[in-house]
Amino acid sequence: MPEWKRIRGVNFLTSYARDAAEIWSRYDRETIDRELWFIESLGFNSVRLWLHSRPSFTQQEQTLSRLDDCLALCKNHNLTVLPVLFDSCGVERVGEVKVLTMEEVYRIFLGDNRFNAEYKEMMLRIMIKQRKDWYLRSGAAVQVPYSGSPSVLFWQWWQPNPGLSKLGKENWPGLERYVKDVVAVLEEHECVVGLDVMNEPYAIDFFRSTTPGSHIPTDKDKRLILPFVKHFTQYVKEISSEMLVTVGAAGLEEARMFEEFEDLISFHSYDVGQALKSKIEDAKKFAEEKGKPLLLTECLSGVLEQNKCATTDMEQLKSYQDNLPLVLVSNIGWYTWGPINGFPGFPWADIITNAGFRKPAAIFIAETLKKGFIRTLEMNNNE
């Protein structure tokens, strides 16, 4: 059984991949090896590794071979691995897709009469206001695939896996083959600590309709999502008696919905300060009630306060200075968001450039984790 509370991890997105599928379809061993070394050098000991079913259908043997190789590289860098099988986040592309700049999509959205002023204000607050300077300046020329949903302003090239339209039972046999092949590879690697069956299952495209609140799952959506998650958590257990499963819930309330299917409870929180402390304490109480381990699989990421992210290196540093200690003293395992600058472009989250230069936050993280490692050694020596 892994020592869950010792996990100090990151969500690993390679700098060359625009979404999870491209990690595998454009597999670059040299880049992955180098970037895993960057992660190891900061003192992290685990990665949450994003998989995708799409390459498995088009490049099955090659994709599995690449996964096998990547897991071996993780072991070489003393990193355990929590793979993610499926993911609801992102934008499903429908109809004609045009590649436009972020600024062009932003202007289209502002002038789109399908969305009323109230809805635009709500969505701008959720998606854009905290990042407006980046969208309109350094991010203005970034190209994204636009097929009618302004959600690409946030998600850019990221696509769900497999997507809401493909969660129905008619698609399960093909996805079972994907899961079975992947699990067979994972079982060969001791560095794999478990399997996150689905990331944020209830994450829905912000703009799938023009009705305010359409990003909130309907009862119809839930009748697709919940059976899908239940089926595939059970399916993993059927084909692998040793694999521990979890569901990457967007928050504690969502985690409560999926707990009965899990061996360990995982949740996300991008809160800061006292709100972060409270969320962690509530999650610890819930996990203790259920007698299961607990992981915080997404957190930190340069958030300053609700709906506001860091726009400078020094703001990002302050965010980590204020909140990393809160996570460390919580005595649970955790994963911060992707550390390497690349795609998708979340500049408030990146702490290392793809050339290996460390931002001030990365230097702080390395120093802080090193101190924690030394204290752990001292405690073990005194036992």
> What does the pLDDT read at residue 148?
86
Quote the pLDDT of residue 379: 45
Distances (CA, A) of 104 to 116, 121, 291: 19, 18, 50
Tokens 């306060």 belong to 305
Helix (H, G, I), strand (E, B) or coil at 236: helix
Residue 331 has pLDDT above 90, yes or no: yes
Confidence of residue 207 (pLDDT cuts 50, 70, 90): low
Q: How confident is the model at residue 116 (pLDDT cuts 50, 70, 90)?
A: confident
pLDDT at 376: 47
- pLDDT value of residue 349: 83
- pLDDT tens sequence across 62-79: 999 999 999 999 999 999
Residue 133 has pLDDT above 90, yes or no: no
Cβ count near 379 (within 10 Å): 9
What's the pLDDT at 153?
81
Contact assessment for residue 188 and residue 146, using Cβ atoms and an 8 Å cutoff: no
- Confidence at residue 380, expressed as pLDDT on a 0 to 100 scale: 47
- Predicted local confidence at residue 107, as pLDDT: 86
pLDDT higher than threshold 80 for residue 306: no
Residues 341-383: tens digit of each pLDDT: 876 667 678 899 888 999 999 999 999 999 864 454 444 445 4
CA 338/CA 333 separation, integer angstroms: 16
Helix pair angle (313-328, 273-290), 10° resolution: 30
Report which DSSP code applies to 181. H
Q: What is the pLDDT of residue 368?
A: 95
Q: pTM for this one?
A: 0.92
pLDDT value of position 381: 47
Q: Which pLDDT does position 169 carry in this prediction?
A: 96
Nearest C-alpha neighbor of 203 from the set 353, 118, 86: 86
Average pLDDT across the chain, whole number: 88
Q: What is the dihedral of CA 91, 97, 99, 100, to 10 degrees?
A: -80
The pair of three-digit structure tokens given for residue 80, joined into one six-digit string: 């355990």
Q: Is the pLDDT of residue 300 over 80?
A: yes
- Give 119's contacts (C-beta < 8 A, 6+ positions apart): 210, 211, 212
How does DSSP classify residue 45?
-
| pLDDT score recorded for residue 136 | 59
For the stretch 272-298, pLDDT in tens is 999 999 999 999 999 999 999 999 999
pLDDT at 375: 52
The pLDDT of residue 115: 79
As a whole number, mean pLDDT of residues 8-36 equals 95
Residue type (1 letter), 255: A
Q: Which residue has the higher pLDDT, 149 or 307?
A: 149
pLDDT number for residue 201: 94
